[in-house]
Chain A
């Protein structure tokens, strides 16, 4: 297989704990097999600054929580052929969504005002503006493959990636579940 025919894959990390990426890294030596078939063109694990064009498969970890997440995922969707919601945060907004019943304001006050003794203030510059509601990825952009799990096991991720690289849509129903 020539270099040019290699698939282009990416991973992104929105509002999540990075556990799904850890699980991905748990593929260990099998990562080498993946990289033999594909180039990792964007990822928190590598140092590309801008999300590139023409990506074949993007694995998305995390829910859409902030304006930054929202803009990012829209761009990623536009530049990706197959978008994968990886893990419960991407699939169902999971723990990040636990703020939704209370609202964003309540969370910021709790974090930056109530529990702070020295100069309590809600930062305006460092953190991106929060969305009113944390949302799963598919409620913002179209998602092609869903892989629930918190996190999905390395074996599941390996299966999903290999199926996609082989040009098939993976069937994960007996491999993982919400909360797995």
Chain B
């Protein structure tokens, strides 16, 4: 028999909140309608704490901690909004805009994009870092989908969904640092990637227009993410 789940009480933004001891700060916050921005996190995929948007302040801990990967503790006091956090979150989003060539007005997911949404929600009306304008390719070799590196933010949701959910591990990252790129099958053109099952999960979890369905024009591509929690739930049922 499984041990009963422990219940904890903590404070988020001054509110007393009860939670299961195995929950993350992010899960508890969302359940209580406290919004914390996220980008690399997606329900149904493993958390890697890489985008740093969900960093929160925890009393007694000097360093900021990612809400997506930090478990709640009894008596924990969490602050999810502060002038400092707001500023950091804006800067992180602005850095993404500066890193690649995000031209919202001609993007296939204009209006349905997580990056664009976060920029608006965080009150960003311009990017105060210099744009880097890298010269990046588009891979349209796949029959149904395309990859535009100009719009990739390297969240690795595609890598994780392909490996963890589809089990194909077609996607990975090559290079490092500012030279990092998502690749398919040892950097082969996507259309020649033999491991790809063409399931399209990567396209749907992609937060931006980096991965998109061919034949869609500006603003026509909305991502369908419902499958992921559903699949996760069904698989958990299966293994019970």
Binding site for B on A (CB under 8 A): 85, 88, 91-95, 97-98, 100-102, 133, 136, 138-139, 143, 146-148, 150, 172-174, 177-179
The majority secondary structure among interface residues of chain A is loop
Q: Which of B11-19, B117-125, B159-167 contacts A (4 or more CB under 8 A)?
A: B117-125
Residues in B whose Cβ lies below 8 Å from that of A147: 125
Residues in A whose Cβ lies below 8 Å from that of B116: 177-179
Give CA–CA (A179, B106) in the complex, Å: 8
- The interface centre, meaning the residue of B116, B123, B133, B135 with most chain A CB atoms within 10 A of its CB, is B133
B146 within 8 A of A: no
Closest A residue to B110 by beta carbon equals A179
Q: Which of B31-39, B96-104, B170-178 contacts A (4 or more CB under 8 A)?
A: B96-104
Give CA–CA (A138, B126) in the complex, Å: 9
Residues in A whose Cβ lies below 8 Å from that of B125: 91, 146-148, 172-173
Within 8 Å by CB of B135, from A102, A133, A177, lies A102
**B128 near A138: Cβ-Cβ < 8 Å:** yes
Which residues of B103-117 have CB atoms within 8 Å of chain A's CB atoms? 103-107, 110-111, 116
What bracket does the count of chain B residues touching chain A fall in?
A: 20 to 34
**A101 near B130: Cβ-Cβ < 8 Å:** no
Residues in A whose Cβ lies below 8 Å from that of B119: 177-178
Within 8 Å by CB of A85, from B101, B102, B126, B130, lies B126
- Cβ of A93 to closest chain B Cβ, rounded Å: 7
**A100 near B103: Cβ-Cβ < 8 Å:** no
Smallest CB-CB A-B distances: 4 pairs: A179-B104, A150-B105, A101-B135, A100-B133
The majority secondary structure among interface residues of chain B is loop
Q: Count A-B contacts at CB 8 Å.
A: 68
Please list 15 pairs of residues, one from A and one from B, whose beta carbons are closer than 8 Å in the complex, sorted by A's number.
A92-B126, A92-B127, A94-B103, A95-B103, A95-B105, A97-B101, A98-B101, A101-B133, A101-B134, A101-B135, A133-B133, A173-B123, A173-B125, A177-B116, A179-B116
Per-position binary interface string of chain B over residues 126-145, scored 1 when its CB falls under 8 Å from any chain A CB and 0 otherwise: 11101101111000000000
Residues in A whose Cβ lies below 8 Å from that of B107: 179
Give CA–CA (A63, B35) in the complex, Å: 35
**B126 near A95: Cβ-Cβ < 8 Å:** no
- The interface centre, meaning the residue of B107, B110, B127 with most chain A CB atoms within 10 A of its CB, is B127
Residues in A whose Cβ lies below 8 Å from that of B97: 92, 178
Give CA–CA (A59, B92) in the complex, Å: 29
Within 8 Å by CB of B101, from A101, A138, A179, lies A101
Residues in B whose Cβ lies below 8 Å from that of A92: 97, 126-127, 131
Closest A residue to B117 by beta carbon equals A177
Give CA–CA (A173, B123) in the complex, Å: 5
Within 8 Å by CB of A97, from B103, B104, B120, B123, lies B103
**A177 near B128: Cβ-Cβ < 8 Å:** no
Residues in A whose Cβ lies below 8 Å from that of B106: 95
Closest B residue to A90 by beta carbon equals B126
Give CA–CA (A7, B105) in the complex, Å: 32
